[in-house]
Structure 1
Amino acid sequence: MTGAGALLEVDGLTAGYGAAPVLHDVRLSVPSGAIIAVLGANGAGKTTLLRTLSGLLRAARGSVVFDGEDLRGVKVEHLVRRGIAHVPEGRGVVTELTVDENLRLGGLWRRDRLDAARALDEVYDLFPALAQRRASAGHQLSGGERQMLALGRALIGRPRLLLLDEPSLGLAPRITAQIMALLRDLRERTGLTVLLVEQNVRSALSIADEGVVLSLGRVVTRNNAAELRDDADLRHAYLGF
């Protein structure tokens, strides 16, 4: 699928591990400033999609174009500099480092030191719980605090596209609601574009503009969030509720 004003265009993407493809001819368009939820059962290929888009996994075929630039062969660190941030499932926090040290890792590559410091202050404003625990080690944090830390570290780089994998995993409903509300607020205030992989379908569709449903590595449908919520047959077939 393609569309005017798209920040990210994926065309014919096939990728996997070794000789076994997980994604098959995936086509996807992500408009600038949109929140797109990627939905599907376990094993549908959602995490593989994000890993391929962020450069952690090499595509076998197809193209990934970000803001008009073909990303094939571009190294992970260069993707970050171009404005793509990936928050993987499991948070990815360095547990031996403090909150402050983890956050500063997100800005090590930045040349504008003044703005990097400003971005750090903004993250502490977004997450007061992290500001209170800035000297605490990662292993001392709760699951919700670790998720905030991983998200905050990604935001230090001022990304244009955030690839977010299962942010609600293992979190209490109250914390999940806070994370989702924050994503919606960031989009409204900064124009951040989000590709959100999430097993909590209701939560994801509550903030998404559109949803893309994967099954066995293929896109089976794409529609606006409200229509996906109301499509009982599709929900029962692919989304488990």
Structure 2
Amino acid sequence: MGDPAGSQLRVRGLTAGYGAAPVLRGIDLDIDPGQIVAVVGANGAGKTTLLRTLSGLVEPTEGSMTWEGDELRGTRVHDLVRRGIAHVPEGRGVITELTVEENLRLGHVWRKDKDDARRATAEVFEFFEPLARRRRSPGHQLSGGERQMLAIGRALVARPRLLLLDEPSLGLAPKVTSQIMTLLKNLRDDTGLSVLLVEQNVRSAMSIADRGVVLSLGEVVVTDDAARIAEDDDLRHAYLGF
């Protein structure tokens, strides 16, 4: 099953939305193994809807989404996680009543290999030292940056091969944003993790991405090398607002 020589994630003609009018219109997108693809665009471009559709939270009306050659449409959310796709939504999604350790445990509660689940949790504490120091603290006592680390860490303990990450820098200090971007790059380089990154901070996203995708009004208007998108003044002024 699947085609290991081809794209890991292949999206063709994807149309989806929340009512009669589609938010996404005919999206084509590819992610190769071990690749970071940054999706950027103005507010309302459809970036979050794209991630929600890929993660099974929004049902597409047209098009196909294949993961390692197999169709994703109709796959239940928890089955996507088992197949290697983890989604960190905008807003972090930490359960504030639970401790750091308890939140991380939710990320691997379904895994049969408990020894590796414990190793994965230990690795998250190595990646994010502030979480290690606050492992027994409830989520409501964490800073915004620590909550974002915890949300990413909870996804990583599931050992995903593709991470869908929505606006990780939102509301964070530049230093924390830099730390998270460096972590994503290191994970890509060291483990082969693929990342589909939706990010408002275009310069930061493009600095670690292999390719960039620009959305406008639910359509892909540009797909190119990340560095070329970052350097294209006309493109930035037309679609990215700076």
The question of a shared fold, defined as TM-score above 0.5 by the shorter chain, is answered with yes
Cα drift, residue 230 of structure 1? 1.4
Cα drift, residue 231 of structure 1? 1.0
CA distance in 2, matches of 1:209, 1:5: 17
CA distance in 2, matches of 1:199, 1:229: 13
Residue in structure 2 matched with residue 53 of structure 1 by the alignment: 54
Unpaired segments ≥5 residues, structure 1:
none
Cα drift, residue 20 of structure 1? 1.8
Cα-to-partner distance string for 1:171-218 (whole Å, 9 max, x where unaligned)? 000000000000000000000000000000000000001100000000
What secondary structure, in the 3-state scheme, does the structure 1 residue paired with 2:8 have? strand
Which aligned pairs between 1:74-93 and structure 2 lie closer than 5 A?
Answer: 74-93=75-94
Q: Does 1:143 align with 2:144?
A: yes
Q: Does 1:129 align with 2:130?
A: yes
Cα drift, residue 137 of structure 1? 0.5
CA distance in 2, matches of 1:63, 1:119: 32
Give the partner amino acid of 1:135: R
Cα-to-partner distance string for 1:112-149 (whole Å, 9 max, x where unaligned)? 11111111111111111101000100010000000000
Normalised by the size of structure 2, how large is the TM-score? 0.97
What secondary structure, in the 3-state scheme, does the structure 1 residue paired with 2:170 have? coil
CA distance in 2, matches of 1:186, 1:103: 18
% identical equivalent positions: 70
Which aligned pairs between 1:187-226 and structure 2 lie closer than 5 A?
Answer: 187-226=188-227
Cα drift, residue 5 of structure 1? 3.1
What is the count of residue pairs matched by the alignment?
A: 238
CA distance in 2, matches of 1:122, 1:178: 16
CA distance in 2, matches of 1:195, 1:55: 15
Give the partner amino acid of 2:210: D
Cα-to-partner distance string for 1:35-85 (whole Å, 9 max, x where unaligned)? 000000000000000000000110011100001110111100000000000
Residue in structure 1 matched with residue 24 of structure 2 by the alignment: 23
CA distance in 2, matches of 1:16, 1:168: 25
Give the partner amino acid of 2:201: N
Runs of 4+ in 1 over 4 A off after TM superposition: none
What secondary structure, in the 3-state scheme, does the structure 2 residue paired with 1:24 have? strand
Which aligned pairs between 1:29-40 and structure 2 lie closer than 5 A?
Answer: 29-40=30-41
What's the C-alpha RMSD, in Å, of the aligned pairs? 0.7
Normalised by the size of structure 1, how large is the TM-score? 0.98
Unpaired segments ≥5 residues, structure 2:
none
Give the partner amino acid of 1:123: V
CA distance in 2, matches of 1:228, 1:55: 29
What secondary structure, in the 3-state scheme, does the structure 1 residue paired with 2:66 have? strand
Cα drift, residue 226 of structure 1? 1.1
Q: Does 1:235 align with 2:236?
A: yes
Give the partner amino acid of 2:77: V
Residue in structure 2 matched with residue 116 of structure 1 by the alignment: 117
Residue in structure 2 matched with residue 164 of structure 1 by the alignment: 165
